[in-house]
Amino acid sequence: MTRIVQLTDSHVTARGTLWKDQVDTASRLATEVAAANALQPNLVIHTGDVVELGATPEGPAEYEQAAEILAGLTAPLRLLPGNHDGRAQMRAAFPDQKWDNPPFLNFSTDMDGLHVIGLDSIIEGQTGGAFPQAQVDWLADVLDDRPTVIFLHHPPCPMGLPFMDGFGFDGGDLLAQTIQGHDVKRLACGHVHSDVAVHWAGTVVAAAEASSVHISPDMAAFDALPQGEIRRAGIEPLRLRFFDWKDGVLSVKSVPAQASRAQAVI
Ligand SMILES: [Fe+2]
Ligand SMILES: [Fe+2]
């Protein structure tokens, strides 16, 4: 069996600081790293928004903190950028990572017959995502007849979350065309900080809960807030998403990243 753990949206800030002066995202990521190690995965994939201000002068100090925490993983790590990341800063902070199709940060690897693809979906400086022609050519070239999972930061389609969907994705139709005819089991995303999945382009697009704060999927209530009202993200117990690949079956699971105190005898 092959097991892959997904980390996403850790939004780590520099040592001694808090995310939006409120949340210790570094210690939340450390909690997830410990939980990931307990699952004994073969691979860990971080689907972006590794840090909060990656492309700014704050970036190097944030990446230093994130890299130190992620160094605690016992399994190999692959990283993808999110809209809060900077490509050059990520390359500098993680010199051992090997990415394809520069300047993009892509990867493609085989895990026991499962083709695992990492697709860079960012437009530096923007919140929304994209699948530009240079990425079409790369993805079309690496896709083959193996069962495949594509990891990327941005969902390429609306997820039923108006606040996040509003930031958009450029080239979703191209991505749908490119994967057509291939056995793409799933597009595993982050970005929306919610556990939500939709059927799209003959596959499933599924976002995992963030390693930082949770944005309520009850978006009707969230979007009904008057303009200027403070939007409150939940600081909820962390859950960890993982994928098991065994005998041609991909099963997608999650577990609490923090110990539960309650037990029942069954
Ligand atoms: Fe995020
Ligand atoms: Fe994001």
User: Is there a domain that residue 262 lies in?
Assistant: no
Predicted confidence at residue 220, as pLDDT, reads 61
Q: What are the angstrom distances between the C-alpha of 158 and each of 128, 192, 201, 209, 238?
A: 12, 11, 12, 17, 24
Predicted confidence at residue 222, as pLDDT, reads 65
Q: How far is the CA of 49 from the centre of ligand 1 (A)?
A: 5
Predicted confidence at residue 234, as pLDDT, reads 78
115, 148 in Cβ contact below 8 A?
yes
Residue range of the domain that includes 89: 2-251
Q: How would DSSP label each residue in 167-219?
A: T-EETHHHHHHHHTTS-EEEEEE-SS-S-EEEEETTEEEEEPPPSS-BPPS-H
Ligand nearest to the CA of 7: 1
Q: How far is the CA of 142 from the centre of ligand 1 (A)?
A: 27
Ligand nearest to the CA of 52: 1
The number of folded domains in the chain is 1
Q: How far is the CA of 146 from the centre of ligand 1 (A)?
A: 30
User: Is there a domain that residue 188 lies in?
Assistant: yes
Which residue stretches of the chain have pLDDT < 50? none
Phi-psi region of 141 (alpha: psi -120 to 50; beta: other; left: phi over 0): alpha
User: Is there a domain that residue 257 lies in?
Assistant: no
Order of all β-strands in the sheet with 196-200: 107-111, 114-119, 148-152, 184-189, 203-207, 196-200
The count of other CB atoms within 10 Å of the CB of residue 21 is 7
Both tokens of residue 120? 């860079």
Q: How far is the CA of 9 from the centre of ligand 1 (A)?
A: 4
Q: Which residues surround ligand 2, an ion (CB under 5 A)?
A: 49, 82-83, 191
Q: How far is the CA of 153 from the centre of ligand 2 (A)?
A: 7
Question: What beta strand segments (E) does the chain contain?
Answer: 2-7, 43-46, 77-79, 107-111, 114-119, 129-130, 148-152, 169-170, 184-189, 196-200, 203-207, 239-246, 249-256
Ligand nearest to the CA of 209: 1
User: Is there a domain that residue 259 lies in?
Assistant: no
State the Cα–Cα distance between residues 201 and 176, nearest whole angstrom.
5
Q: Which residues of 92-114 are buried (b: 16+ CB within 10 A; e: fewer)?
A: ebbeeeebebeebbbbbeeeeeb
What predicted TM-score, i.e. pTM, was given to this entire model? 0.95
Q: Give the model confidence (pLDDT) of 225-259 as tens digits.
A: 666 677 777 788 899 999 999 999 999 999 999 87
> In this structure, are strands 43-46 and 129-130 parallel, antiparallel, or unpaired?
unpaired
Q: How far is the CA of 46 from the centre of ligand 2 (A)?
A: 12
Which domain CATH number covers 169? 3.60.21.10
Predicted confidence at residue 224, as pLDDT, reads 66
User: Is there a domain that residue 260 lies in?
Assistant: no
Q: How far is the CA of 50 from the centre of ligand 1 (A)?
A: 8
User: Is there a domain that residue 266 lies in?
Assistant: no
Ligand nearest to the CA of 25: 1
Both tokens of residue 139? 């993805």
Our CA dihedral for 90, 108, 169, 51, rounded to 10 degrees, sits at: -20
| Residue 253 DSSP class | E
Mean pLDDT of the chain: 94
User: Is there a domain that residue 72 lies in?
Assistant: yes
User: Is there a domain that residue 178 lies in?
Assistant: yes
CA 162-168-170 angle, 5° bins: 155
